[in-house]
Amino acid sequence: MGDPLKLGLAGLGTVGVSVLKRLGMMENELAMKAGRATRVDAITARSRNKDRGVDLSSYRWFDDPVALAKDADIDVFVELIGGDSGPAEEAVRAAIIAGKHVVTANKALLAKHGNELARLAEENNVSINFEAAVAGGIPVIKTIREGLSSNQITRVYGILNGTCNYILTRMEDDGLTFAECLEDAQRLGYAEADPTFDVEGNDTAHKLAILTSLAFGTEIEADSIFLEGITTITKADIAAADELGYRIKLLGVSQKTDTGIEQRVHPTMVPKTSEIAQISGVTNAVAIDGDAVGSITLAGPGAGGDATASAVVADIIDIARGLFINPLGRPVGELQPYVRAKMRAHEGGYYIRLTVNDRPGAFASIAQRMAERDISLESIVQRKGRSHREEARSSASRQEKPQDVVLLTYETTEEAVRKALQAIKKDGHIVASPQMIRIERL
């Protein structure tokens, strides 16, 4: 047995407490696997006296995470504070400079400062392990960085936010509106009081930025990700998708193209028969396309104290086992600058829902605008935009009421679709903003 590995643990929220408990419960087994004991030596959190249902008396207490990070007696600094700056950033930086390994679940910190922290870690010969930062308990970082290190990866995509997937699943299963499902998610603790960060896609973007760097060997670049949230998805979209053989998922997609790398987060139509379409509720999934392996899909819990602790503790055990690797899979100096592919050049199929004044000539005019941009239509479906009861009431005046028209295009470009929709708007046949949802080739 080697010397015990001594941890400094910063942050005692759900994940921190779960990490503490797991390290205690699995003490002997983990020591056996690693050939050395692993024990928590010191802790810090915002409040010392809060009842967390766990005895903290055997650990040294620090009020200041930076002081803990630098403490001479610890070998590993476990950062579970959160936030892309402030105490988390200062403490991680201090730990690395003091020669401590770092384990963190902090996606926001890595999305913002990952390149620099990885460089600092390399200079100081320490690890930064961050399996828990992306997709919770699913070991996707290890899979890309090690398990598929032999591949040229062409695309990585996934369902990376459980809140959004819960909402979209409920909308589909129970025919509810976005607002109704969000309320349920908040009641069940799946969504924050201010859900913006989740439902607008920012959380997914942070995770995607990390995956992109690992998959393509580029610097982490989280600021230029194309972002569309799920707040505009309606019951009509969910129902139309269902009829057409699709489901709507919030995907983060990173893809190599001729002009650079597309990083995009948006509601996406995926075929019902695809593996990613089966992922329901708060579950996460990540798929990786590689030139050797073909396509691999990993699915599992993306959040929650225990699932996140699973990844944090595995990262700690890797350090105890002496497994060291460049944080971003290669030396930071070898990372390529991130070259952004223009979203307008994106190629794919599109779902378009238009609310149309049902006048003679409206359809022909819309079809003409698509043709002008060389957009071929796979299908055009007129849908009832209103309930059956409204339908019955207004059947006399049906001709004047707006109708939903759903178009599915064959492969085209984002630019063509945007220009065609601008022209259609100008023509005055549609009464609301067009809905446009990208279809992912799976």
Stretch that binds a copy of itself, among 53-61, 136-144, 201-209, 409-417 (CB under 8 A): 136-144
Which of 5, 8, 9, 18 is the binder for a copy of itself (CB under 8 A)? 18
Query: Rounded CA gap, 231 and 250, in Å?
Result: 11
Q: Work out the angle at residue 218's Cα, subtended by the Cα atoms of residues 216 and 220, and round it to the nearest 5 degrees.
A: 115
CB atoms within 10 A of CB 204: 28
Q: Which one of 207, 235, 342, 425 is the catalytic residue?
A: 207
Stretch that binds a copy of itself, among 91-99, 256-264, 309-317, 348-356 (CB under 8 A): 309-317
Stretch that binds a copy of itself, among 84-92, 133-141, 382-390, 394-402 (CB under 8 A): 133-141
Helix (H/G/I), strand (E/B), else coil: 284: strand
Nearest-approach distance from CB 429 to a copy of itself, in angstroms: 41
Which of 71, 75, 203, 318 is the binder for a copy of itself (CB under 8 A)? 318
Stretch that binds a copy of itself, among 4-12, 58-66, 306-314, 359-367 (CB under 8 A): 306-314
> DSSP E strands: which ranges in 93-144?
101-104, 128-129
Helix (H/G/I), strand (E/B), else coil: 214: helix
Nearest to 95 by CA among 105, 106, 104, 108: 104
293 part of the interface to a copy of itself, by CB under 8 A:
yes
6 given a catalytic annotation: no
Q: Please identify, using beta-carbon distances, which residue of 323 and 345 lies nearer to a copy of itself.
A: 323
CB atoms within 10 A of CB 371: 12
- Cα 300 to Cα 133, 162, 304, 441: the distances in Å are 14, 10, 11, 22
Nearest-approach distance from CB 297 to a copy of itself, in angstroms: 5
Query: Rounded CA gap, 177 and 179, in Å?
Result: 5
6 is in an annotated binding site: no
192 is in an annotated binding site: yes
Four-residue CA torsion sign, 137, 138, 141, 145: positive
**Within 143-182, which residues bind a copy of itself (CB under 8 A)?**
143, 146-152
Distant-in-sequence, close-in-space partners of 281: CB < 8 Å, separation ≥ 6: 162, 165, 166, 169
24 part of the interface to a copy of itself, by CB under 8 A:
no
Q: Please identify, using beta-carbon distances, which residue of 151 and 186 lies nearer to a copy of itself.
A: 151
What the block records as the tokens of 297 is 């899909």
Helix (H/G/I), strand (E/B), else coil: 151: coil
298 part of the interface to a copy of itself, by CB under 8 A:
yes
Intra-chain end-to-end CA distance of the chain, in Å? 48
Helix (H/G/I), strand (E/B), else coil: 429: coil
Nearest-approach distance from CB 141 to a copy of itself, in angstroms: 9
Which of 115, 310, 412, 413 is the binder for a copy of itself (CB under 8 A)? 310
124 part of the interface to a copy of itself, by CB under 8 A:
no
Residue 379 dihedral angles phi and psi, to the nearest 5°: -160, 155
334 part of the interface to a copy of itself, by CB under 8 A:
yes
Q: Please identify, using beta-carbon distances, which residue of 329 and 349 lies nearer to a copy of itself.
A: 329
What is the β-pairing status of strands 260-271 and 226-227? Answer: parallel
Which of 227, 239, 325, 380 is the binder for a copy of itself (CB under 8 A)? 325
Stretch that binds a copy of itself, among 23-31, 185-193, 201-209, 364-372 (CB under 8 A): 23-31
Q: How many residues bind a copy of itself (CB under 8 A)?
A: 59
372 part of the interface to a copy of itself, by CB under 8 A:
no
314 part of the interface to a copy of itself, by CB under 8 A:
yes
CB-count exposure of residue 139 (10 Å: 0-12, 13-18, 19+): buried
Which of 63, 243, 275, 390 is the binder for a copy of itself (CB under 8 A)? 275
Query: Rounded CA gap, 383 and 259, in Å?
Result: 38
Nearest-approach distance from CB 216 to a copy of itself, in angstroms: 11
User: Which residues, in sequence order, are bridge partners of residue 268?
Assistant: 249, 438
Q: Which residues are part of a known binding site for NADPH?
A: 107
Residues making contact with a copy of itself (CB under 8 A): 18, 22, 26, 29-30, 32-33, 35, 131, 137-139, 142-143, 146-152, 217, 273, 275, 278, 290-301, 304, 306-307, 309-314, 316-318, 321-326, 329-331, 334
Q: Which residues are part of a known binding site?
A: 107, 192
Which are the catalytic amino acids? 207
